[in-house]
Chain A
C-alpha cells in the first residue's frame, strides 16, 4: 500500500552517496536515515528531534515517511541497509524480530530513565500513545464512557469503525467491553472476543490507515471509531470535525526506536537514540502531538496535559502485552482472518 515517495528517493540517494565511504569514524559528521510512520508525526519529529540534533551534532539526517517492516527485513537479508534508526510501533522490536535488529547500546542510551516495561534489548520507547474510543458528536446523544458503550448499539446507534489489524487491539476492546479486567486481558481469550465482536458484526467498518479512521468518524459515516488518541485529537482540533473521545478504557501503546542490523552508522544511531529519549528532549514532541514522553524524568508540554494518555491513568486502562502478542500473533492473525472473511 505504500508508494515510493520523494523522501524514499532522497534516502536512497543519500545512501548511494555515502556508499563506499565505509565505516566512517564516528566523530565525523554522518548522514543518518530516520524512518517513521509519516503524517503529522513525521513533521513533529523533524522539528522537535531531528533538526536540533543536526545542529548540535553536525550530522545530516534524511527523514523517511512510511515504516515498512517487510522492507526492513528485505534490506537486512540483501545486506544493503539504507536505514539507521527505525521508529516502529508496539508490535515491532521484540525478541521475535531479533534477526533484523542490533541490540541497543545501553552504555550510551539512558535505559534507567525510561518508564518500566517500555524498554528491552532491541528497542526503547520514545513516546506513549493509546488506542481509544472516539465518537461523532452529531451522531451520538449523550457521552459514552468506555468499550461497553462501543458494543451497545441500542443505547448508541450507528456504525463502528475498527482497526483492520489482528494485533491492533480489536480483540482487546471486545474483551474489555465484555467485562474482562484490564490487568487480566492476557493471554487473550480469542473465542470470547469473537463472540462479543459478533454481537455488532453487521455494524463494523474496518479501516486501514489512521487518516481513514479520522474520515470515517469525522464525516459521521460511523458514530464511533476505535482509533489512536493522536488521530482522534487531530480530527477534533486540527480538522475541526464534530469529534470527541474518551480516555476511559484506553489501551496504552508506544512508539519504539530500533536500529536495523547492517546499518552503516550504528554508533551514531545509538547517539541519536540517546538524544531523542533523553530527559531534556523526549517530552518536546508533546508540544505538537498528544503523545507522552517515555522518559520518566522528562516534562511534557503543559498546554497538552489534558490530552496525554498518561494524564488519565486514574481511569480504567489497559496496556498492550507486546511480548504475548509477538509470541501469538500467528494465532491471532489466522483467527482474525477466518472470522473476518465469514462476515456479511
Chain B
C-alpha cells in the first residue's frame, strides 16, 4: 500500500498538479485547450476504439483457447501453454516489429497470397488499423488466456455430469453451467486487456497508419519533443478520468461477475 502510494499515486498527483501550475498559474487552462481540441478527440477515439476491439477479440479467442487447453490431454495442454508463454517472454518491441515484417508488402502474408494466385499485387496490410488490431490482440492474448484457464481449472466437472444427467444437451451444459462458472476469469482478462490497450504506444506506431494513432502518441510528442509537460499532463489526466468514469459506470457489471460467485 505504501509502495502504491509512493511509487504511483504521488507521481501521478504531481503530473496532474503540474497541469494546473505549468507553464503559468492559470488553473485549468490546459484542460480546456485539450477538451476543446478536435484533434485530441480523434486521437482519444482511436484509443478507445482500439481498446474495445482488442479486448473483445482477445476475450473471445482467449476463452476458446483456454477451453481447448482445458479439454485436451496433458501433452497438448503443455504444448498450448508453451505457445502462450514463449512469445510472452519476448519484448513488446520485438513482437511489434515482427508483425511489421510479416505484414509488409514484401512480407510472408502477401508472398503466400501472391503465390497462391489469390491476389495480383500486394495488398496493403501494414499501416492499417487491421494491422494494429492483429498485433495488439496477439500480444495481449495471454492476459485473457491465463486468467480464463485458471478459472476453468477450478471448475468442478461433476457439475457438467449433473447437468447432462438432468437432460441438458452438451451445448446447453456449456452455456448454462460451464460458461457462467468460468466467466470470472474471462472478465478479469477482458479488464486487463482493456486497461493495457489504453496505454499502447509502440505497436500502433509501428503497425498503424497516420490516421489510426492513439492518444499516447500525442502525449509522447508533447513530453519528448515539445517539453510541454503541462499539456501532456492534462491529456493524461483526462484519459485517466475517462477510464475511471468508464469503470465506475461498469462497476455493477464488474461486481456481479467478479464477486457474485464468491
Please indicate the chain A residues that have their CB under 8 angstroms from the CB of B227 in the complex: 69-70, 73, 97
Please indicate the chain A residues that have their CB under 8 angstroms from the CB of B43 in the complex: 337, 341
Please indicate the chain A residues that have their CB under 8 angstroms from the CB of B106 in the complex: 219, 221
Q: Are A1 and B226 in contact, CB atoms less than 8 angstroms apart?
A: no
Please indicate the chain A residues that have their CB under 8 angstroms from the CB of B220 in the complex: 1
CA distance A166 to B221 in the complex (A): 10
User: What interface size band does chain A fall in?
Assistant: 20 to 34
Taking A208-B205, A337-B218, A338-B38 as contacts, is the C-beta distance between A343 and B211 under 8 angstroms? yes
- Of B37, B104, B105, B225, the most chain A CB neighbours within 10 A belong to B225
- Of A330, A337, A342, the most chain B CB neighbours within 10 A belong to A337
Please indicate the chain B residues that have their CB under 8 angstroms from the CB of A330 in the complex: 226, 228
CA distance A134 to B201 in the complex (A): 28
Q: Are A341 and B223 in contact, CB atoms less than 8 angstroms apart?
A: no
Q: Are A341 and B225 in contact, CB atoms less than 8 angstroms apart?
A: no
Q: Answer whether residue B39 sits at the interface, using C-beta atoms and an 8 A cutoff.
A: yes
Q: Answer whether residue B213 sits at the interface, using C-beta atoms and an 8 A cutoff.
A: yes
Q: Answer whether residue A327 sits at the interface, using C-beta atoms and an 8 A cutoff.
A: no
Contact of A204 among B46, B93, B210 (CB under 8 A): B210
Q: Answer whether residue A280 sits at the interface, using C-beta atoms and an 8 A cutoff.
A: no
Q: Answer whether residue A334 sits at the interface, using C-beta atoms and an 8 A cutoff.
A: yes
Q: Residue of B at shortest CB range from A338? A: B39
Q: Answer whether residue A189 sits at the interface, using C-beta atoms and an 8 A cutoff.
A: no
Q: Answer whether residue B224 sits at the interface, using C-beta atoms and an 8 A cutoff.
A: yes
Please indicate the chain A residues that have their CB under 8 angstroms from the CB of B95 in the complex: none
Interface residues in B105-162 (C-beta closer than 8 Å to A): 105-106, 127
Q: Are A333 and B202 in contact, CB atoms less than 8 angstroms apart?
A: no
Q: Answer whether residue B199 sits at the interface, using C-beta atoms and an 8 A cutoff.
A: no
Q: Are B209 and A334 in contact, CB atoms less than 8 angstroms apart?
A: no
CA distance A3 to B91 in the complex (A): 11
Q: Are A337 and B202 in contact, CB atoms less than 8 angstroms apart?
A: no
Q: Answer whether residue A340 sits at the interface, using C-beta atoms and an 8 A cutoff.
A: yes
Q: Are B213 and A341 in contact, CB atoms less than 8 angstroms apart?
A: yes
Q: Answer whether residue B42 sits at the interface, using C-beta atoms and an 8 A cutoff.
A: yes
Q: Are A165 and B93 in contact, CB atoms less than 8 angstroms apart?
A: no
Q: Are A3 and B93 in contact, CB atoms less than 8 angstroms apart?
A: yes
Contact of A70 among B93, B104, B202, B223 (CB under 8 A): B223
Please indicate the chain A residues that have their CB under 8 angstroms from the CB of B226 in the complex: 329-330, 333
Q: Are A340 and B228 in contact, CB atoms less than 8 angstroms apart?
A: no
Say how far B109's CB is from chain A's closest CB, in angstroms.
15
Please indicate the chain A residues that have their CB under 8 angstroms from the CB of B210 in the complex: 204, 206, 340-341, 343
Please indicate the chain A residues that have their CB under 8 angstroms from the CB of B209 in the complex: 343-344
Please indicate the chain B residues that have their CB under 8 angstroms from the CB of A70 in the complex: 223-224, 227, 229
Q: Answer whether residue A152 sits at the interface, using C-beta atoms and an 8 A cutoff.
A: no
Q: Residue of A at shortest CB range from B213? A: A341
Interface residues in A190-225 (C-beta closer than 8 Å to B): 204-206, 208, 219, 221
Say how far B130's CB is from chain A's closest CB, in angstroms.
14
Please indicate the chain B residues that have their CB under 8 angstroms from the CB of A138 in the complex: none
Q: Answer whether residue A167 sits at the interface, using C-beta atoms and an 8 A cutoff.
A: yes
Q: Are A69 and B211 in contact, CB atoms less than 8 angstroms apart?
A: no
Please indicate the chain B residues that have their CB under 8 angstroms from the CB of A73 in the complex: 227, 229
Taking A334-B39, A341-B43, A343-B209 as contacts, is the C-beta distance between A69 and B224 under 8 angstroms? yes
Q: Answer whether residue A95 sits at the interface, using C-beta atoms and an 8 A cutoff.
A: no
Q: Are B221 and A337 in contact, CB atoms less than 8 angstroms apart?
A: yes
- Of B210, B218, B223, the most chain A CB neighbours within 10 A belong to B210
16 contacts between A and B (CB under 8 A): A1-B201, A1-B220, A166-B221, A166-B225, A219-B106, A334-B39, A337-B39, A337-B43, A337-B221, A338-B38, A341-B39, A341-B42, A341-B210, A341-B213, A342-B211, A343-B209
14 new A-B contacts, CB < 8 A, other than A69-B225, A334-B37, are A1-B220, A68-B224, A69-B224, A73-B227, A91-B225, A206-B210, A221-B106, A329-B226, A333-B225, A340-B213, A341-B46, A341-B210, A341-B211, A342-B42
